[in-house]
Amino acid sequence: MDIFKKVYEFKTANEARALGIYPYFHALESMQDIEVQMEGKRKIMIGSNNYLGLTGDPRVIEASIEATKLFGSGVSGSRFLNGTLSLHLNLEKDLADFMNKESAMVFSTGFQSNLGIVSAIAGRKDIIFCDRENHASIYDATRLSYAEMIRYKHNDMDDLERLLKDADPKKGKVIVTDGVFSMSGDIAELPAIVKLAKEYGARVMVDDAHGIGVIGPNGRGTAAYFDLEDDVDLIMGTFSKSLASLGGFLVADEAIVDYVRHHARSFIFSAAITPANAAAAKTALDIIKAEPERVQALLDISAYMRKQLLNRGLKIIDSSITPIIPIYTYTPMRTLVACKMLFDRGVYVNPVIPPAVPEGQCLIRTSYTSTHTKALMDEAADIIADVLNTIPESEEAVMMELMKNG
């Protein structure tokens, strides 16, 4: 059989393009902000992870430029060899201090962070307990580790305890969970996870990509939010969200970090982040420490938008305080049509369809920035409500409307 058979049989994207509802790869023509230029037109951006609005901050941009002038455009090697800069070391020290951990290490991306951390810590004789709604990078990291993966129902502590109780006591165990879940926006049941981990001899790792800069004192994330920083063994974060750059990191005890440094293949065999990325992340971190009001502004504007959506009769996942607010659209076709109509009317959102969610539970994922204004939120909420009220609920009716309108 030709290995490309699956390639030639893949029709989904072209079918969506033919119907004019393909939602991906829209090109930005301006910097990431609360309003952007996209394909020649103004869009209200509520589909970004620029939670604290720092991607376009002049201080972050200037730091990036100055680092490039001083160190060049790249590092030309991995951290193991010639790729370690004083910038990386200073950033790691600041991250460890900010997160109240002994040590930190920086990876080239958030995805590579999870790949490296999990596959270094866990092996064939270990078990990884994984929340079913964890990020895809955690699933891939688990496969790379060759450890046994046991999935527990999302945020279901009874299910997790049952699985821990049944696990082989001779095997090493780690519970890995998102801190803030990227699709639903809800927060991990971390106090219960920590309690179970202690009871059953497991370690705890939190992927806090969507928690750092978002919740907890000064935006230190989920562990700080629950006052459990000393009880969580490994915390992973990214720079591509609140920290306005590109890269990822681990904070933990020095012995753990040093072990991961010497065993994580995605760290050892990847070039280090560029000087510009490192300087941008460090400056963004400095701003977060100096301006904690940004975190509260983010929570305030998110609460305001949550109220506006509910007041307009929209069905949302309303289980959290976070800036991720998913809106139910139920079926894939209705979701894609809604995203297309919203885009045409100047609102950028993200579609969430199977396999990212179960059948019948499709969503529009919206996410907010601390610098969003109430006026922009009112405008966006009005457009969203108007669009969703005009689209039929059944898949067949949506399809008929599409065909009729050519």
The tokens describing 303, both together, are 């609460």
Beta bridge partners of 324: 367
Which amino acid does the sequence have at 40?
G
The tokens describing 24, both together, are 């991906």
In whole angstroms, give the CA distance from residue 101 to residue 80.
23
The tokens describing 368, both together, are 């907010």
Residue appearing with tokens 């951390």: 117
Angle between helices 275-290 and 58-71 (to 10 degrees): 150
Which amino acid does the sequence have at 358?
P
In whole angstroms, give the CA distance from residue 367 to residue 123.
36
5 is catalytic: no
Query: What does the DSSP 8-state code read for residue 218?
Result: G
6 is catalytic: no
Q: Which of 101, 135, 210, 372 is catalytic?
A: 210
241 is catalytic: yes
Strands of the 347-348 sheet, one edge to the other: 35-38, 41-45, 347-348
The tokens describing 158, both together, are 């009874």
Q: Which of 108, 119, 137, 182 is catalytic?
A: 182
In whole angstroms, give the CA distance from residue 41 to residue 116.
40
Q: Which of 43, 135, 173, 241 is catalytic?
A: 241
Active site amino acids: 182, 210, 241
